[in-house]
């Protein structure tokens, strides 16, 4: 007769708990995504808020100034993209003609090699695109999405203000719900999670700016029109790990082809992408982002796929810092330490060139500190 062992029962309980958590994250995504974004932003702006407070400002005023700083940064990026996009709109007619020409060439190629006439291709496309009712439905969907983004943005700003201004109250609440014997450990978890999020987000911001410069130089040398726009776009999309840089470069290539770029320009854009990716992986990440989020590549992929299924694109953006915080919790809670080990990387598991650059950079910093 089969009897359930304690270890098996414990494993089943853990799996059931994980299923409940994932289900809760999925069904509560509209409520939880703005809170998660605001929490990470609050960790990022916490040092700036403390600096304002040390200057004698009220906590509420300091929190408002942090939000104003965030809005100014976002407005600057939007203004830069809009300025560059205005140049692209001036060439829309030429780009449209080029796209029509490319589309016609593709249709002729399909007709010649696959035996499907252009008329049949057009009929099939018309059938797929439906009628005016579908267009109306698409317009309604787009408008609804824009309104949803605006509402979520306002919620994030409100939550950000509340989290920064009420951080002492929230921290005291967490310390009250844990036993007195574990209060010190809980306080350490919160401090470590906050520092990790600050270093990761600030490092990611600095790396994005560095990518703007690198892509800007590369695309300008390649002769891409509106190189600055595509450089900024590729850098911003870097917030979506693995997928963002590919999407940005693909859009750049698409626009180069639409603008009539030759093979040399296309090759130059691809070469720029490969060079920037090498510099990002082996120089920018070890020097700028560092190893604050110490997650092994396998769980990085797992986290990205899982959070994309649960929360979509916002989930992919939030996945790495959230798994990093989860690892910190596991490392400090004794029963969860094996899971922290499973999520983390082995020591010295990075490529040799990665370790060499990190050691060189650490040695340089220590020399500066001594001097």
Q: What string of H, E and C letters represents the secondary structure of 192-250? A: HHHHHHHHHHHHHHHHHHHHHHHHHHHHHHHCCCCHHHHHHHHHHHHHCCCHHHHHHHH
Is residue 368's pLDDT more than 70? no
User: What's the average model confidence in pLDDT over 345-367?
Assistant: 55
286 or 315, which is more confident: 315
Most confident of 138-142, 161-165, 228-232, 261-265: 161-165
Q: Compute the distance between CA of residue 133 and CA of residue 125 in angstroms, rounded to an integer.
A: 16
Is residue 106's pLDDT more than 60? yes
The residues with which 295 forms a beta bridge, in sequence order, are 344
Is residue 92's pLDDT more than 80? no
Report pLDDT for 175: 87
Q: Compute the distance between CA of residue 37 and CA of residue 43 in angstroms, rounded to an integer.
A: 10
User: What's the average model confidence in pLDDT over 240-259?
Assistant: 78
CA atoms within 13 A on the CB side of 264: 3
User: What's the average model confidence in pLDDT over 158-185?
Assistant: 88
Confidence of residue 157 (pLDDT cuts 50, 70, 90): very high
Cβ 53 vs Cβ 62: under 8 Å: yes
Confidence of residue 341 (pLDDT cuts 50, 70, 90): confident
User: What's the average model confidence in pLDDT over 65-87?
Assistant: 84
Cβ 345 vs Cβ 295: under 8 Å: yes
User: What's the average model confidence in pLDDT over 241-262?
Assistant: 77
Lowest pLDDT segment from 157-171, 259-273, 282-296? 282-296
Q: Compute the distance between CA of residue 43 and CA of residue 128 in angstroms, rounded to an integer.
A: 47
249 or 87, which is more confident: 249
Is residue 2's pLDDT more than 90? no
- List the chain domain ranges: 28-114+146-177, 181-292, 293-347
Confidence of residue 66 (pLDDT cuts 50, 70, 90): very high
User: What's the average model confidence in pLDDT over 254-267?
Assistant: 77
Confidence of residue 257 (pLDDT cuts 50, 70, 90): confident
Q: Compute the distance between CA of residue 231 and CA of residue 269 in angstroms, rounded to an integer.
A: 11
What single string gives the DSSP state of each residue in 112-150? HHH---HHHHHHHHHHHT--HHHHHHHHHHHHHHHHHHH
Cβ contacts of residue 269 below 8 Å, gap of 6+?
A: 218, 219, 222, 224, 249, 252, 253, 256
Is residue 191's pLDDT more than 80? yes
Report pLDDT for 63: 92
CA atoms within 13 A on the CB side of 362: 9
Stated pTM of the model: 0.75
pLDDT in tens, 275-301: 988 888 777 776 666 555 677 778 888
Buried b (16+ CB within 10 A) or exposed e, 140-170: eeeeeeeeeeeeeeebbbebbbebbbebeee
Is residue 1's pLDDT more than 50? no
User: What's the average model confidence in pLDDT over 301-330?
Assistant: 88
Cβ 161 vs Cβ 43: under 8 Å: no
The residues with which 369 forms a beta bridge, in sequence order, are none
pLDDT in tens, 112-143: 666 666 666 566 656 655 544 444 455 566 66
Report pLDDT for 133: 46
How many Cβ atoms from other residues are within 10 Å of residue 342's Cβ? 12
pLDDT in tens, 13-38: 778 888 898 899 999 998 999 999 99
94 or 346, which is more confident: 346
46 or 147, which is more confident: 46
To the nearest whole percent, how much of the chain has pLDDT over 70? Answer: 71
Most confident of 107-111, 173-177, 364-368: 173-177
Confidence of residue 316 (pLDDT cuts 50, 70, 90): confident
Report pLDDT for 112: 67
Report residue 369 as tokens.
């500190």
Report residue 113 as tokens.
């090699």
Is residue 359's pLDDT more than 90? no
Phi, psi of 344 (to 5 degrees): -80, 175
């Amino acid at each position: 007769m089969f009897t359930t062992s304690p270890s098996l029962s414990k494993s089943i309980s853990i799996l059931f708990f994980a299923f409940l958590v994932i289900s809760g994250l999925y069904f509560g995504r509209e409520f939880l995504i703005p809170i998660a974004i605001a929490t990470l932003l609050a960790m990022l702006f916490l040092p700036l808020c403390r600096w304002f407070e040390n200057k004698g400002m009220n906590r509420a005023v300091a929190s408002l100034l942090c939000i104003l700083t965030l809005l100014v940064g976002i407005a600057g990026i939007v203004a830069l993209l809009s300025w560059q996009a205005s140049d692209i709109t001036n060439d829309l007619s030429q780009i449209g003609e080029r796209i029509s020409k490319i589309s016609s060439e593709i249709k002729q190629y399909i007709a010649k090699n696959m035996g499907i006439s252009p008329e049949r291709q057009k009929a099939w496309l018309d059938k797929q695109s439906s009628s005016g009712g579908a267009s109306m439905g698409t317009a309604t969907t787009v408008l609804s999405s824009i309104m949803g983004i605006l509402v979520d943005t306002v919620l994030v700003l409100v939550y950000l203000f509340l989290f920064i201004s009420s951080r002492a109250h929230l921290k005291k609440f967490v310390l009250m719900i844990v036993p007195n014997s574990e209060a010190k450990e809980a306080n350490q978890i919160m401090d470590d999670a906050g520092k990790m999020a600050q270093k990761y987000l600030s490092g990611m911001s600095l790396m994005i700016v560095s990518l703007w410069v690198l892509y800007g130089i590369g695309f300008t040398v390649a002769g891409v029109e509106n190189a600055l726009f595509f450089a900024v776009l590729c850098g911003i999309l870097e917030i979506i790990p693995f997928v963002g840089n590919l999407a940005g470069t693909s859009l750049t290539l698409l626009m180069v082809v639409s603008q009539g770029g030759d093979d040399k320009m296309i090759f130059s854009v691809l070469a720029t992408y490969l060079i920037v990716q090498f510099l990002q992986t082996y120089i920018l990440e070890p020097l700028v982002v560092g190893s604050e989020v110490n997650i092994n590549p396998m769980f990085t992929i797992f986290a990205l796929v899982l959070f994309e299924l649960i929360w979509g694109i916002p989930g992919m953006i939030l996945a790495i810092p959230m798994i990093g915080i989860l690892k910190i919790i596991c490392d400090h809670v004794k029963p969860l330490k094996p899971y922290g080990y499973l999520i983390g990387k082995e020591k010295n598991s990075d490529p040799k060139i990665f370790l060499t650059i990190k050691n060189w950079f650490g040695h340089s910093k220590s020399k500066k500190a001594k001097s």
